[in-house]
Amino acid sequence: EEQERLNAALTEVIGESYVLRYPKTGELNSAFIFKDLDGDGTEEAMAFYSVYDESTRINVLKKTEESWVSVYEAAGFYGDIESVNFAKIDKKGSDVVIKWEQEVGIYRYENERLEKVHGDSCEGAEITDIDGDGKNEVVIISKNAMGRNSLKIVYGSGREVLATDDISIHADYPNIFAKGYGKIYDGKGMFFIDSEISEGVYLTEMFSLEGTGAKRFFISDFMEKEEDESESENEGVVVVVGGGYGKRGIFLRNTKVPCMDINGDGIIEMPAEVREDYAREASENIFFIQYVQHNGTNAVPVWNGVANTEIGYLFAVPENWNENTVIKKSSSADSFVFCEKKN
């Protein structure tokens, strides 16, 4: 019955020759989406449709006692709607974040008008609260004019919607396998991206909102640099030996495991490889890894374990197993045996 009333209100304004359009992904996948857009305590309805061509239009409707009334129509975008979400970029009302095929648009409803307050080319957009101020930021991942992978953060300042400059990133959007928000030791919020940057090589990148700019971090940025350590062509390759974290350059790994709060302390830990082993009598590589946490001056291990993400396991082992064990395939059962290494 409610949808019949909404269709009747649309027909009254635009006639009967329209086709409803539906977001392709996400929880909000209806042609009619309800939300209190202006913060007045009453929900508006947003309708997505096209008339005669492939251009998707947006109509905002308000409810009266017995019916819905169209109050504003806005141009949308040529092509499909990928997703629709809402963000509180300021603390009044909800802004609409629409991911079109190759673009993201952020729309604000005020004074019965739906205005586009930000638009960008976009491969992916994530809504989070990076700086913990109770308002949302929108992280936009795209390719810049030079075709390089880039990231920017859209944020609010008063009633303004602003954006940081693009910063280059290693992650190519289709190769991102995990992303999310978390805090480091001092409560600072970070946006984390785990991606495959070349075949079988994985990287964690972290981003914070610093004033009006976005800043990128790697695990190695949290590590003390030894005075006698010099730069080398191999910096960035896994070089951790003996559990020593004074060395830089452990941010690349061959294990497809994501950042997570692995010990439940409310702080995000980052994975780093200690060494690679393989199960004798089995063609399976197994990686000894540690999850490390920034403690203010350095990155320190808080969890030790082994992982094989192709099969799908991650389990803890004692720290001294990192260097003092070999792994064998059990012939009597589908299991692995960890054996003490003998000189």
Tell me the pLDDT tens digit for each residue of 87-96. Answer: 999 877 789 9
Instruction: Kindly state the average pLDDT of the residues 173-178.
Output: 91
Residues in contact with 231: Cβ distance below 8 Å, sequence separation at least 6, in sequence order: none
Answer whether 225's CB lies under 8 Å from 209's CB. Answer: no
Coil/strand/helix, residue 8: helix
Q: Angle CA(102)–CA(108)–CA(112) in degrees, nearest 5?
A: 130
pLDDT of residue 248: 34
Supply the mean pLDDT for the chain.
80
Half-sphere exposure of 45 (CA within 13 A, CB side): 20
pLDDT of residue 2: 79
pLDDT of residue 243: 34
State the distance between the two ends of the chain, measured CA to CA, in whole angstroms: 79
For residue 4, pLDDT beyond 50? yes
Long-range CB contacts (within 8 A, 24+) of 144-150 = 144/168, 149/173
Answer whether 98's CB lies under 8 Å from 140's CB. Answer: no
Coil/strand/helix, residue 63: strand
Residues paired with 20 in a beta bridge: 49
Fill in the amino acid letter for 183. K
Instruction: Kindly state the average pLDDT of the residues 190-208.
Output: 89
Coil/strand/helix, residue 284: coil
Tell me the pLDDT tens digit for each residue of 262-312. Answer: 989 999 998 887 776 655 555 666 778 888 887 777 778 889 888 776 667
pLDDT of residue 278: 59
Tell me the pLDDT tens digit for each residue of 12-66. Answer: 888 888 888 888 988 888 888 999 888 888 888 999 888 877 688 899 989 887 7
Closest by CA to 251, choosing from 289, 300, 203, 307, is 203
Coil/strand/helix, residue 14: helix
CA pair distance 29, 75, nearest whole angstrom: 19
Tell me the pLDDT tens digit for each residue of 115-146. Answer: 999 999 999 999 999 988 889 999 999 987 77
Both tokens of 250, joined, read: 């452990």
Which is more confident, 156 or 241? 156
Sole residue written with tokens 């790697």: 218
Closest by CA to 153, choosing from 145, 162, 144, is 162
